[in-house]
Amino acid sequence: AGAMCSTKRGTVPSQHILSCMEMAEETNSVWIVFGTPPVGKVWEKHDEISRRAVIVFIDRYRETPEDQKDCARLALTIGRSFPFETEQLITKHLDLVQANGAGICGRYLNFFQRCDEARERAGRAKIGADDMWAASLTTTDLDSLWASVRDFDSLLVADRANNIRKQIRRGWSAKS
């Protein structure tokens, strides 16, 4: 199974996905493939993949007031598994948590794990604000995270209607 989860050096990722799709078809099985935002570029640029696959986006929490409320609740829920000085510490530093998490559940868990590691390195029994700041991503990592988020968001909110209008003007019509 490990060989199916990696590509050989020099192998194009889209070719690997197509090979997996062929195996699924030959064995009459359904495969569920998860990917991070950059994998979206693979099916966006390869018609055979987007035509033969059902693509389901698992969205992140957004910057809307409703999502922010749900996101805060998620962060507090995950945070309860870690030895914070107080639950209010997460609420007080929610902007820091969200900057490091980008509305993605796994990112919050990862951030809190880094907070706990910072606490251990400092020899403290409870996670404090200093540990949260110490656990924050570097500027380079934050830039990379948010660039990846913007790429993902662009896949969800692509200007499909405008792109289709351009295609129709070029002579391709959806009319029979």
Q: How many CB atoms lie within 10 A of CB 50?
A: 13
User: Which pLDDT band holds residue 176 (cuts at 50, 70, 90)?
Assistant: very low
Query: Residue holding tokens 């922010």?
Result: 68
pLDDT of residue 157: 66
**What does the pLDDT look like over 53-68, one tens digit per residue?**
777 777 788 888 888 8
**What does the pLDDT look like over 18-43, one tens digit per residue?**
888 888 889 999 888 777 666 766 76
What is the C-alpha separation between 108 and 121, in angstroms, rounded?
20
What is the C-alpha separation between 120 and 109, in angstroms, rounded?
17
pLDDT at 112 over 90: yes
CB 102 within 8 A of CB 146: yes
DSSP 79-97: HTTS-BS-HHHHHHTHHHH
Report the Cα 79 to chain-centroid distance in Å.
19
Helix spans in the chain (H): 13-26, 40-45, 47-52, 65-79, 87-92, 94-101, 105-122, 129-135, 139-156, 160-169
